[in-house]
């Protein structure tokens, strides 16, 4: 009986330590960002370009129609497209249009106002990018 128990315990240990092998056709699934996350990255890069043009005294060109995709891009969490999001989106577009149509003297202030509208929106839902967004702000004494 003692031998039977020892053999039983050893069998349990042996079979419980079995290594699991991956199936050969198993693939890793890469993270894909939502349309809105991709758009936010595009907007960030565009705003960094605008910031640099403002600091260099260069012409901005025309308003980027890409920004208008903020109204239709699919969010990571579609439930976040609510009245608050819609209001902040409209405010951001209004502020960005002001950057392009305002006077040269108010260019930095208008740009910062647009960036601050991004920060205000992100404070309500998706706070992670706020430190990155703050890097877009232009120091007004520069």
For 63-72, how does the pLDDT look when each residue is reduced to its tens digit (9 = 90+)? 999 999 999 9
Does residue 130 contact residue 122 with C-beta atoms inside 8 Å? yes
Distance of alpha carbon 26 from alpha carbon 28, whole angstroms: 7
Instruction: Identify the band that residue 115 occupies on the pLDDT scale cut at 50, 70 and 90.
Output: very high
Question: pLDDT value at position 11?
Answer: 64
Distance of alpha carbon 4 from alpha carbon 96, whole angstroms: 80
Query: Residue 135: inside a domain, yes or no?
Result: yes
Query: Residue 117: inside a domain, yes or no?
Result: yes
16 secondary structure, DSSP code: H
Q: What is the pTM of this model?
A: 0.76
Query: Residue 60: inside a domain, yes or no?
Result: no
Distance of alpha carbon 101 from alpha carbon 76, whole angstroms: 32
Structure tokens at 60: 């901005």
Domain count, the chain: 1
Query: Residue 90: inside a domain, yes or no?
Result: yes
Query: Residue 114: inside a domain, yes or no?
Result: yes
Query: Residue 10: inside a domain, yes or no?
Result: no
Give the range of the structural domain holding residue 100, as residue numbers without chain letter: 78-142
């Amino acid at each position: 009986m003692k031998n039977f128990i020892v053999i039983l315990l050893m069998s349990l240990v042996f079979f419980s330590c079995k290594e699991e092998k991956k199936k050969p056709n198993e693939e890793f699934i890469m993270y894909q960002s939502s349309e809105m996350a991709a758009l936010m990255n595009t907007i960030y890069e565009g705003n960094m370009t605008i910031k640099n043009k403002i600091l260099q005294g260069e012409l901005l060109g025309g308003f980027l129609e890409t920004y208008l995709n903020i109204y239709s891009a699919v969010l990571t969490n579609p439930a976040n497209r609510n009245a608050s999001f819609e209001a902040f989106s409209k405010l951001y577009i209004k502020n960005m249009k002001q950057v392009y149509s305002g006077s040269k003297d108010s260019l930095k202030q208008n740009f910062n106002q647009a960036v601050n509208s991004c920060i205000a929106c992100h404070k309500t839902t998706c706070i992670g990018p706020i430190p990155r967004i703050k890097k877009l702000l232009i120091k007004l004494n520069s």
